[in-house]
């Protein structure tokens, strides 16, 4: 969803006169399919991460013409007819997919001669799952050279693979004044600041906040609790006990770019979009408790390139923060490495290629 919105913004930045529509597949399926496709995934990664890791690996190793894969595509095709109708109604000149599900559906439409518009695929992690390798696509946009290498190994024409990065919103490509941003949120720009991001669900952030504050008495800690009202209330009570200037709890906010501009380090799950936003802003990361599969692969990429540390549990997170408190100069090295990996204009680069082929 976030990648699609970023690509839409990139398209309008490149061609302001263009008519761009973002269609969410889940708005065009029945309730049962939506519940299985989204709720089951969330339950698996939350409650049974090892099982999800096995499913991820087994599905990436499965041959595309395996019985299970064929059955999956039949179910998806029967459940998404309204999406094909919506695409036909809009009659686009080009389509960009930020998930393999619509790309697979359109692959069949192309093969049957029912769709003439070019279809592009934007991979949204720093890893390549086999389901992203889809025939009949005009081209692919990927986050790094390794994903491009893996695509070529799956016999994708190298000319169709473009290393543009993972698309993020334009706000993360701006240069912000740290002091001005800090002042807007009541922060001291001279103090070391950590941004703890709990995602939309805000799970576990109160406990992590307590641990981080105990580690470093000089730390300013900004905690995003997302839409978790209970976690936000716990954090607000904790902030009152800690006294002014230590803990800054927030609920769901659209101010993430400016908050990142105030931070020296962020603690976050290693999703493809969030990590790309951090890289674009040159923000070092501690990636926490990555789920098996795509998050582990994203974390590996960041660690290998020196832009992040990894914490597999709260105790590991405490240890990493103690290391940084003892040697804060290592943050500057991580910051340079992060900025070197960042692709703040990935959305515009991708859409420039799409428009150039029309």
Res 133 pLDDT > 60? yes
Asked if residues 49 and 292 have their Cβ atoms less than 8 Å apart, the reply is yes
Name which of 310, 276, 271, 313 is nearest 293 in CA terms.
271
Same domain, 57 and 155: yes
Same domain, 351 and 334: no
Res 202 pLDDT > 60? no
Same domain, 322 and 290: yes
Predicted confidence at residue 71, as pLDDT, reads 76
CATH of the domain at 37: 3.40.50
Structure confidence by residue, pLDDT tens digits, 150-166: 999 999 999 999 999 99
Same domain, 7 and 68: yes
Same domain, 161 and 183: no
Predicted confidence at residue 74, as pLDDT, reads 74
| Confidence bin at 108 (pLDDT 50/70/90) | confident
Average pLDDT over residues 251-279: 95
Asked if residues 248 and 223 have their Cβ atoms less than 8 Å apart, the reply is yes
Same domain, 189 and 322: yes
CATH of the domain at 265: 3.40.50.2000
Same domain, 210 and 239: yes
- Domain residues for 188? 175-341
| Confidence bin at 298 (pLDDT 50/70/90) | very high
Same domain, 194 and 328: yes
Predicted confidence at residue 159, as pLDDT, reads 97
110 CB-near residues (< 8 Å, 6+ apart): 119, 136
Same domain, 107 and 191: no
Res 278 pLDDT > 90? yes
Same domain, 141 and 203: no
Distance, in Å, from the CA atom of 14 to the CA atom of 351, rounded to the nearest integer, reads 7
Asked if residues 11 and 20 have their Cβ atoms less than 8 Å apart, the reply is yes
Predicted confidence at residue 301, as pLDDT, reads 97
Same domain, 132 and 180: no
Angstrom distances, CA of residue 272 to CA of 144, 200, 287, 293, 299 = 12, 15, 12, 12, 9
Distance, in Å, from the CA atom of 24 to the CA atom of 80, rounded to the nearest integer, reads 11
Predicted confidence at residue 255, as pLDDT, reads 95
**Per the structure, how many domains does the chain have?**
2
| Confidence bin at 45 (pLDDT 50/70/90) | confident
Same domain, 225 and 321: yes
């Amino acid at each position: 969803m976030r990648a699609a919105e970023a690509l839409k913004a990139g398209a309008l930045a490149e061609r302001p006169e263009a008519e761009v529509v973002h269609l969410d597949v889940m708005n065009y399926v029945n309730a049962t399919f939506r519940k299985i496709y989204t709720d089951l995934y969330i339950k698996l990664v939350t409650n049974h991460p090892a099982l999800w890791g096995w499913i991820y690996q087994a599905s990436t190793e499965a041959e595309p013409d395996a019985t299970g894969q064929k059955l999956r595509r039949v179910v998806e095709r029967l459940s998404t007819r309204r999406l094909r109708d919506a695409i036909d109604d809009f009659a686009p000149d080009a389509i960009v997919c930020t998930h393999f599900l619509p790309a697979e559906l359109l692959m069949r439409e192309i093969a049957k001669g029912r769709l003439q518009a070019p279809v592009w695929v934007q991979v949204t992690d720093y890893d390549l799952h086999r389901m992203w390798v889809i025939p009949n696509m005009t081209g692919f946009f990927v986050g790094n050279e390794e994903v491009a290498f893996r695509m070529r190994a799956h016999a994708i024409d190298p000319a169709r693979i473009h290393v543009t990065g993972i698309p993020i919103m334009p706000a993360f490509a701006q240069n912000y004044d740290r002091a001005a941003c800090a002042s807007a949120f009541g922060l001291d720009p001279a103090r070391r600041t950590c941004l703890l991001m709990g995602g939309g669900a805000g799970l576990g952030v109160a406990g992590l906040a307590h641990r981080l504050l105990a580690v470093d008495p000089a730390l300013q800690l900004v905690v995003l609790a997302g839409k978790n009202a209970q976690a936000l209330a716990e954090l607000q009570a904790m902030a009152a006990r800690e006294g002014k200037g230590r803990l800054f709890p927030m609920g769901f906010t659209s101010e993430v770019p400016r908050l990142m501009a105030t931070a020296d380090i962020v603690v976050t799950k290693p999703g493809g979009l969030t990590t790309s936003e951090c890289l674009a802003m040159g923000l070092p990361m501690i990636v926490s408790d990555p789920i098996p599969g795509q998050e582990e692969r994203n974390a590996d990429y960041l660690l290998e390139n020196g832009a992040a540390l990894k914490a597999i549990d709260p105790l590991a997170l405490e240890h990493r923060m103690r290391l940084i408190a003892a040697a804060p100069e290592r943050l500057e090295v991580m910051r340079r490495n992060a900025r070197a990996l960042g692709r703040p204009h990935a959305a515009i680069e991708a859409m420039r290629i799409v428009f150039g082929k029309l």
